[in-house]
Amino acid sequence: MSSYPDTVAGIATALAKREFSSKEITSHYLAQIAAVDGQLNSYITVCNERALEDAKAADELRSRGEAGPMTGVPYAHKDIFCTKGIRTSCGSRMLDNFVAPYDATVSGRLNEAGMVLLGKTNMDEFAMGSSNESSYYGPVLNPWKTSAVPGGSSGGSAAAVAARIAPCATATDTGGSIRQPAALCGVSGLKPTYGKVSRYGMIAFASSLDQGGPIATTAEDLGLMTNVMASFDRKDSTSIDHTIVDHVGELSASIKGLRLGIPKQFFDSALDPDVATATRDAIAELEGLGAVATEIDIPSIGLAIPAYYVISSAECSSNLSRYDGVRFGYRCDDPIDLEDMYIRSRSEGLGNETKRRILIGTYALSSGYYDAYYAKAQRIRRLIRESFTSALADVDAIVGPTSPSVAFDLGEKTSDPVSMYLSDIYTTAVNLAGLPAVSVPAGFVKGLPVGLQLIGNDFEESKLLRIAHQYQSVTDWHKRKPPIG
Amino acid sequence: MNWETVIGLEIHAQLATDSKIFSAASTEYGAEPNSQASAVDLGLPGVLPVLNERVIEMAVLFGLAIGATISRSSVFARKNYFYPDLPKGYQISQYAEPIVAGGKLEIPLDGHRSRIIDVTRAHLEEDAGKSVHENFQDSTGIDLNRAGTPLLEIVSEPQMNSASQAVAYMRTMHQLVRYLGICDGNMQEGSFRCDANVSVRQAGTSTLGTRTEIKNLNSFRFIEKAIDYEVERQIDLIESGASVVQETRLYDPDSDETRTMRSKEDSHDYRYFPDPDLLPIQISSEYLETAASKLPELPRQKRERFANQYELNASDAVFLCEEPARADYFESAVRSSNADPQLSVNWISGELSAALNRSNLSIEKSPVNADIFGKLIARIADNTVSGKIAKQVFEIMWDTQQYPDDIIAEKGLQQVTDDSAIENFVDQVLNDNPDQIEQYRAGKEKVFGFFVGQVMKLSRGKANPGQVNTLLKKRLS
């Protein structure tokens, strides 16, 4: 075939109709990766041999009539999900040599669905970053403009999907790490409700905020991927036993009469005026589909960034203590004693942004500072959760921009961590509240994609995807392809 | 100057679960290093803890037994510090909201007095692994088999005033956890151990002196010796004009002294915070009711019941109730013997205990089980055998596990109770010893014992001693 469909739904349908085999489509993507990824650096590991073996196995399943809806569909996997037998680096020198003896629950589910793992995608080290510049494996470049960042931390997943060198990818979102890179790369991303996708085997950054989810080109594909990724898992005590298993069934329903809340705090001075215009145009488009938009007021949104950076850094400082050079991962050469081994293994094995967060978190939890920082941040977190859920009692979804600007240039914010942290200004509150949110492409500013963020109530992923799908059925932003790819 | 000692204990009781507190790995003691450490116990990236529900049940049972408040919602917290045998760089414990709050324990003092010691709290936590220094040159081995073993840390108020009170508290707690079946109490394997916080102050003052903490005491004897040494050390320091430094110390049994482990300046800031990987433990009223219904008879109740039901004196009741297994053995033996319970007590504290000690066995492992032990008691009670012969029977039972009746029949050990048979023995002894008869009749009553001995000897120990007495007296009068 000369041209293959580039959506999950398209590939799945074609595979089911036997228009091509999994081996063919997998080979196609592997060839594209080989041709394109040199310019993007979106993959850390490409699994050429295993992908072809998996594709062959998927084709055999299909020939035996045992294929499921996603069997044989290729995907890229963020290098934060443990994969048995394949290195899982988490973007860090610390885990450059780490091969997990187990699969993450999500990895296992994707395998069981018969999907084909193309490779493991690049990311900010331990998912800490908003530009993918903190990866030990070098930055990922934005396929729309290679001097710009792809966003982070799931920059590799977003760039790979945007460049059509993966039809879809897994990702994780602790403070915006799915939505912001999806927005900056012009693709779609879903951060599910906290507890919906198992965290078992997903290397922890900030346990109470981390949530796995998909990046793809369309809302429909996000739904198909969520069907595979989400599950109740006894191995994760924070996993929630929910009953919704189908996320595509409601996509075609009208959004007429749905109430959209537009927080005025999302249109503050931090927002690039052109991004504001694009966002308002997108909201107008939704109104054109019958949705009813009203301005709402959620003052606590302004407290989200400091609370988020205190809580996430505190948890990270503890979660990353296990990287001590004792049992696995990087160990410095010739330690003279235990303390030297700890200090040098961690100093050499971890990057600057990771160290900065560990220091912030350690400070915030220290005796005498706990109440002023961690305890206060937790109170703010409860306040934010309450204000979002009370707003969502009156509206079906909260709508606004995903990121305050389009993709910024490499190096532009690396010397100023606070300006980097502010690129998460519209996303972190959602993680603090534990709510689901989607980002979909909604226009361009200076040739770079803009993302529209839709936030819903607990477990209302299907409603968000329905709004996103309806929007995508009257717009073509998500179909635009970057110059690289 | 008069000094008063103040002691508080933190006991670590290993909970008797089959698997670890947050993983499915086995808790069995003594396996090959690292053969019982799962990915969770190793702290590998991405893995998550899942609470073993059994530990909640055990902690609740303990709380109910000491009359504590069971927290309806308690929280696991992370205690952060770096140590090679602490795989995650933090220990999962409970801090601000422990599962058991308050509670009281009555401990025996000298004589028949007792006092109540307040328990501050008890919380659940995971144990760390072990650093191994033997067989390694210029390096240290790590064995993570113990990592993740469930512990109940029981913290007392600083209310004990002597090493012997501390030991009494420790013993009483040891007895309690075994009664509850929540800890095997094996101190050698470290299943039950404590840290002692010790300080001294001038008698009559109310502020506490600077304390030191003696870590990891795992025998009653070491607790007593370590505290005695430490108290003397502190008093010497103060009396010589120096002051006690707040620090952690270790007791060295070989030199019988305590020495500095780490000073307060080196102490960690543990940066406790709620573990985001685990939900709070929620305990409902129904759960508490069910747990209360499972509460076994406690040592004190059992002692009182034994004293009443079996008409035992206090020290026998204390002896029998020291261990639940001994109490159970006694009750089974009494049931099986259907005889005076005192006879069972005497034989348990006498022959049985001696034999168990000789073989270094616990009563659970006794080769003579309570049922056949009771059968022997029955034969003593119904005069089939005398006490002396019964000892021979017991020894054979110990070696062969045979029934006492079979042994008695086989060896012909049945007591002679036929008056005419005993009269024959008596007559023969009197005929053979005319001189002694004269001595006896001359008023030397001690000679009576000689006759009894001779009759018993002649009967090869089988003549009923009571009847021998009666018949001898009749003949000699």
Among all residues of chain A, which has the CA nearest to that of B86? A322
User: Considering only alpha carbons, which residue of chain A is nearest residue B92?
Assistant: A318
Phi, psi (degrees; rounded to nearest 5) at B103: 120, 160
**Nearest residue on chain A to B22, alpha-carbon basis:** A235
- B377, with CB counted inside 10 A (0-12, 13-18, 19+), is buried
> Which of A204, A326, A362 is facing B46, going by the closest CB pair?
A204
A-chain residues within 8 Å CB-CB of B269? 366-367
Whole-angstrom Cα distance, residue A263 to residue A280?
12
| Residue A396 amino acid letter | D
Assign 3-class secondary structure to B65-88.
Answer: HCCCEECCEECEEEEECCCCCCCC
Q: Three-state DSSP class for B163?
A: helix
What whole-number distance in Å separates Cα of residue B193 and Cα of residue B212?
Answer: 17
What CATH number matches the domain at B419-476, 3.40.50.10860, 3.90.1300.10, 3.40.190.170, 1.10.10.410? Answer: 1.10.10.410
In the prediction, which pLDDT does A2 show? 54
CA distance A145 to A161: 15
Which residues of chain B make contact with A365, given a CB cutoff of 8 A? 80, 271-273
- Contact check, Cβ <8 Å, B271/A366: yes
Residue B353's alpha-carbon distances to B187, B188, B326, B350, B368, in angstroms, are 21, 21, 10, 6, 11
Tell me if A327 and B87 make a contact (CB, 8 A cut-off): yes
* Residue-wise burial string across B239-276, b where 16 or more C-beta atoms lie within 10 A, e elsewhere: eeeeebeebbbbbeeeeebbeebeeeeeeeebbbbbbb
Instruction: Flag if B142 and A327 touch (Cβ within 8 Å).
Output: yes
Active site residues of A: 78, 153, 177
**Start-to-end Cα distance in chain B:** 70
Q: Which of B9, B35, B36, B5 is nearest to B23 (CA)?
A: B36
Please report the sign of the dihedral spanned by the C-alpha atoms of residue A451, residue A452, residue A457, residue A461. negative
pLDDT of B147 above 80: yes
* pLDDT confidence tier of residue B445, bands split at 50, 70 and 90: confident
CA distances to A94, A137, A170, B291 from B279, in Å: 29, 36, 26, 21
- Using a CB-CB distance cutoff of 8 angstroms, which residues of chain A are in contact with residue B90? 318, 321
Strand partners, B126: B150
Percent of chain B, pLDDT > 70?
Answer: 100
Contact residues on chain B for A315, CB-CB shorter than 8 A: 276
At A111, which amino acid appears? N
Q: Which residues pair with B74 in a beta bridge?
A: B281
Contacts of B281 in chain A (CB under 8 A): none
**Nearest-by-Cβ selection for B45 from A98, A234, A314:** A98
- How many whole angstroms separate alpha carbon A19 and alpha carbon B38? 45
Predicted confidence (pLDDT) per residue in B94-121, tens digit:
999 999 999 999 999 987 799 999 999 9
| C-alpha closest to that of A220 among A192, A250, A244 | A250
Cβ-Cβ contacts under 8 Å, B271 against chain A: 317-318, 362, 365-367, 370
**Contact A88/B43, CB-based, under 8 Å?**
no
B139: nearest CA in chain A? A337
Tell if the CB–CB gap between A100 and B45 is shorter than 8 Å. yes
Q: For residues A144 and B310, what is the distance between their CA atoms, to the nearest angstrom?
A: 91
Residues of chain B with Cβ-Cβ distance to A358 below 8 Å are none
Give the span between the Cα atoms of B451 and B425, in whole angstroms. Answer: 10
Rounded Cα gap, residues A262 and A297, in angstroms: 8
Domain ranges of chain A: 8-250
Q: Parallel, antiparallel, or unpaired for β A211-216 and A188-191? A: antiparallel
Torsion angle in degrees (nearest 10) through CA of A436, A79, A316, A311: -20
Task: Give the closest residue to B161 by CA, choosing from B117, B225, B131, B106.
Answer: B117
Burial class (CB in 10 A: 0-12, 13-18, 19+), B31: middle
CA distance A349 to chain B (A): 15
**A interface with B, Cβ–Cβ below 8 Å:** 81-82, 88, 90, 95, 98, 100-102, 104, 199-204, 206-208, 234-238, 314-315, 317-318, 320-322, 324, 326-328, 338, 342, 362, 365-367, 370, 374
pLDDT tens for A21-68 read 999 999 999 999 999 999 999 999 999 999 999 999 999 999 999 999
**Closest chain B CA to residue A90:** B45
**C-beta of residue A100 within 8 angstroms of C-beta of residue A84:** yes
Distance, in Å, from the CA atom of A50 to the CA atom of B66, rounded to the nearest integer, reads: 60
Chain A residue closest to B80 (CA)? A318
Structure token digits, residue B134: 């033997």
CB atoms within 10 A of CB A192: 26
**What tokens does B371 get?**
């049922």
Query: What is d(CA A484, CA B235) in angstroms, rounded to the nearest whole number?
Result: 80
Beta carbons of A101 and B49 less than 8 Å apart: no
The answer to whether the beta carbons of residues A171 and A273 sit under 8 Å apart is no
pTM of the model: 0.91
Q: Give dist(CA B161, CA B154) in Å, integer.
A: 18
Q: Can you tell me the mean pLDDT for B282-296?
A: 96
- What's the CA gap between B174 and B9, in Å, rounded? 13
Distance CA A423, CA A130 (A): 7
Taking an 8 Å cut-off on Cβ atoms, the answer to whether A237 and B269 are in contact is no
pLDDT band (50, 70, 90) for residue B265: low
In one-letter notation, the amino acid at residue A183 is A
Distance CA A398, CA A77 (A): 29
Taking the C-alpha atoms of residue B253 and residue B255, their distance in angstroms, rounded to an integer, is: 6
pLDDT at B54 over 60: yes
Interface with chain A: mutation pick from B22, B34, B42, B47, highest number of A CBs within 10 Å = B47
Residues of chain A with pLDDT under 70: 1-2
Residue B201 has pLDDT above 60, yes or no: yes
CATH for the A8-250 domain, from 3.40.640.10, 3.90.1300.10, 3.40.50.2300, 3.40.50.1240: 3.90.1300.10
Tokens of A300: 């606590």
Helix count and strand count (H, E) for chain A: 15, 11
Interface test with B, best of A330, A365, A379, A432 (most B CBs within 10 A): A365
Is the CB of residue B98 less than 8 Å from the CB of residue B158? no
User: B389: pLDDT confidence band, cut at 50, 70 and 90?
Assistant: confident
The 3-state DSSP class for residue A183 equals helix
Strands (E) in B62-186, as ranges, are 69-70, 73-74, 76-80, 90-94, 100-101, 104-108, 114-126, 130-132, 141-143, 150-156
Q: What is the pLDDT of residues B357-366, one digit of tens each?
A: 999 999 999 9
User: Does the bond joining B240 to the residue before it have cis omega, within 30 degrees of 0?
Assistant: no
Instruction: Quote the minimal CA–CA distance from A394 to chain B in Å.
Output: 30
Chain A with chain B: Cβ pairs closer than 8 A? 99
Nearest to B277 among A95, A238, A362 (CB): A238
**pLDDT score, position B418:** 79
Rounded Cα distance, A66 and A45, in Å: 29
Q: Given B84, B269, B273, which is nearest A314 (Cβ)?
A: B273
Residue of B nearest to A94 (CA): B45
Measured between beta carbons, the chain A residues lying within 8 angstroms of B88 are 321-322
* Residues in chain B whose Cβ is within 8 Å of chain A: 39, 42-51, 78, 80, 82, 84, 87-90, 140, 142, 269, 271-273, 276-279
CA distance linking residue A46 with residue A110, whole number of Å = 17
Residue B267 has pLDDT above 80, yes or no: no
* CB-CB under 8 Å, A322 with B88: yes
What single letter denotes the amino acid at residue A275? V
Residue A396 and residue A260 in contact, taking contact as beta carbons nearer than 8 Å: yes
ipTM for the predicted complex: 0.96
Which residues, at least 6 apart from A321, have a Cβ–Cβ distance to it below 8 Å?
Answer: B80, B82, B88, B89, B90
Inter-chain CB proximity A237 and B273 less than 8 Å: no
Spatial distance between the Cα atoms of A190 and A196, rounded to a whole number of angstroms: 12
